[in-house]
Structure 1
Amino acid sequence: MHPGGITEQLLLSPQTQIHPVLTGFQQVRPDWRIHLRVLPEYLLYVLLKGGIRGILGNDRRQFRLRAPAVLWLAPGISHAFSPAAEMSPIVLYHFRFRCTHPELPVSGADGFIMAHELPQTEHLARRYYDAAQQPFSSDRGHVLRCLLFLIYRDVITASFNLPGEPETFFRKGKRLPAKGTKLSWNQRHLLFEYVRRNIHRRLTPAQLAEEVCLSPDYFSRVFRRTFGISPRSWLTRQRIEYAAHELLQSPDSVSQIAERFGFQDLYLFSRQFKQIMGMAPSEWRKREFGSS
């Protein structure tokens, strides 16, 4: 089991309850500070614009994050944050939540996880933010757990373990090219919103390019620099992740949900779903959410 296995077990188990403590989206002031503290809950930051720096863990490890990036802290990890540059605007989602399970312990969970260059996590954070505002229900708890698992899986996938460290610490192992223009935060926001509004249509890379007013060829180049994959692969990933969410909420069959998100071939849908989610759609529905 990789480090952080306790958190993964919690998020995979249908018996786990998610209890939001604080859910926020904000542009912070230049004098924003979080003084050294230890919290009994999980803490998740999704950094959309700007940068933060600080210290983490018992050994006061210094770190610096620049958007787009994610920082995930387990309960009991000491931390302190401040802006990475004075007068630099910072836009972020910040979530505090508790996980409870009748059998699995929360104490002793993985320490802290961070990864750079994760702009695709923005839409998952937005959906978590919206879902956490809804009145309490068992369905809401399942939705929150699903979204947290997808975010956690993204960060783990984009990270590697640094052996021999006193804390469980991850960071991105393969960096994207540093040179060249990337899509701005506003352009990324436009793309995620466009996909959200049109997820049931068969979208093309050319339509994405038009949405941000770029030529298809230039858009393809800067898109790959930004996300690390092609626009077409990214669109497939979005459709699969929305389908995974729908498998949680809808009693419809796998084939009906596949068709709803533009997959006419059930075999192709199942194969791509397994490549992205790590398991077949039927296994995902049964294992993640206890569906029959």
Structure 2
Amino acid sequence: MDSHTLLTSYLANLKVDLIVADYNECSTDWRDLDYTPDYSKFYFIIGGEGWLKIGDKEYYPKPGELILMPEGVKQSYACISERPFLKYWCHFSAKVGEMNLFRVLELSHVCIPENPAAVEAAFKGITDSARSDAVYAPLLARSKLLELMSYYMMNLKLDELSYKNLGAARKLTAVLDYIAENIEQNMTIHDLAEIAYMHPNYFMRLFKQQIGVPPIQYITRQKIEKAKELLTTTSGSVSAIADQLGFGDLFYFSKQFKKHAGLTPTEFRKHKSGGMI
């Protein structure tokens, strides 16, 4: 297991919120220089000619490119010809716990989706929902924004990704590795803080900021995931599996399992074996 484990945890706990979205034909008056937004942006280029500057990098986007402009980074943009710059766009926030995703991860600003039609369809869904007065529209917009984020991540090369606080990332990766390798044991905050060489109070704050949930809640989730695997692949009793994973109390195990899986352990095993519930 490596630092990609940390990325998986980030994305599993990612929360996104759409601020505004639309489709525009940008003329030569579309221009702004050296501003730093407190929101992130996606552009999906349909046609025309434009210029972007993100940080100290300049881009001349082409049709079919999906552009990420993260918050907190100085930016500029302009249309550079008489041909209208055609693009879908959205402003949004993306957080893991209390941390903005793009203050934790350094991602490539440009990706070329393998399936541009799917990206355009996601953007159309976002813009349609943003314009709708329906009570469910914000929920649908958020789901389409997550879909768009998935397309972006899907088309990135993982070696293009880097962590802005590599020291903290490495420490948390070591902790996540330890949890995975010792999931059948009972672990304390003190144990995990020692692995990260941190004071327990600081460790708990950092873990929740970076992973999105407190350490004990994360461990419980991972134990339940392991329980699902054991219920599906072994014939051990529910009680034996609870003991194996360090729950001890069968009632507490069943309660936690249903909280995370929506079914009791027995119902889950029956469902996975093709039985009716």
Q: TM-score, normalised by structure 2?
A: 0.48
Q: More helix per residue: 1 or 2?
A: 2
Larger Rg belongs to: 2
